[in-house]
Amino acid sequence: MDDAELAQAAARGDSDAFGGLIDRHGMAARRAARAILRDDDDADDAVQEGMLAAWRAIDRYDVARPFRPWLMRIVVNAALDARRRGRVRHAEPIAETLESGGLGPDRMAEASLLRARIDAGLAELPERQRIALVLFDAEGWGHAEIAATLGVPEGTVRSYVFHARRAMRRALGTLAEGMK
Amino acid sequence: MTQSPFNAEHDPELGALLRERLGGPAPEQFLRRLRAAVVAAPRADQWDVLDAWSRPRVMALAIAAGLLLWLGAWFENGQPAVDPGVMVASLPTHAVVSSQTPAVDEIMAALRDRP
């Protein structure tokens, strides 16, 4: 079943169908929320809030339109709203998730430095550039879908991605090439 | 970062770094939590939606109706009570007692000057 079919089933009250949509898009939503809030618990709460809002509003989803931007827009708004309302618990750095198993001390230090640089690079970016970059490069979305999510023209998304990449390039330097 | 920022293609290397960094711990557990939250929060049925939609509108209609009634009462009280006796008395004396028909101008002037 594709997204639209699952959404239609969910609109008829099938929570398992909505669960299928969560399985497909939950992690992308989490990464986008973490790019905005940069705290595990706040981001997860925002995603849950967004998913529940989407579940309650699923019968208003227009199946003629792509599902992903509709859902992501709700989740992104929930995260932005959480941030605006100052519900962010604290500014702890994101937990270390980059795989470092099997690396020697030098490589582990390099991995740690890479994490710090990714964090610093993301922190420098304006919110919308950060979201656009994550959806484009991490999630592989097209400009049109990101534009629909952010409610801006496609050209603006291209500009966001361009500036975000340039900033990340500056932040990461040559470090990233040595990691893979 | 293997690609120029100008490139419109996805950058797999940067994408992988971002996915790893932003992925968060225990993804399966996180997705289970989301699914459980959805199951525990049944969707509002159509009557709940209609109820939620109509309540503010019913309130707005009630307020508008109240305002109109109040305005109506206010205008009603602002108008002087019409008493036929006063209307006759407001005419010039000669118009009442004279055997001649009063001029139209005099009647109009009397009506206009009525308190």
pLDDT one-digit tens code per residue, A4-45: 999 999 999 898 999 999 999 999 999 999 999 967 889 999
Query: What is each CA distance from B91 to A123, B81, B112, in whole angstroms?
Result: 88, 18, 11
CB-nearest to A55 from B15, B27, B43 is B43
Global model pTM greater than 0.80: no
Look at A91-105, A136-150, A155-169, B56-70 and tell me which has the smallest mean pLDDT: A91-105
Q: Which domains does chain A have, with CATH numbers?
A: 3-84 (1.10.1740.10), 105-179 (1.10.10.10)
pLDDT one-digit tens code per residue, A57-72: 999 999 999 999 999 9
Q: What is the mean pLDDT of residues B28-44?
A: 88
Measured between beta carbons, the chain A residues lying within 8 angstroms of B17 are 98, 114, 118, 172, 176, 179
**Judged by CB atoms within 8 Å, which residues 112-171 of A form the interface with B?**
114-115, 118-119, 122, 133-134, 136-140, 143, 158, 161-163, 165-166, 168-169
* ipTM (interface predicted TM): 0.81
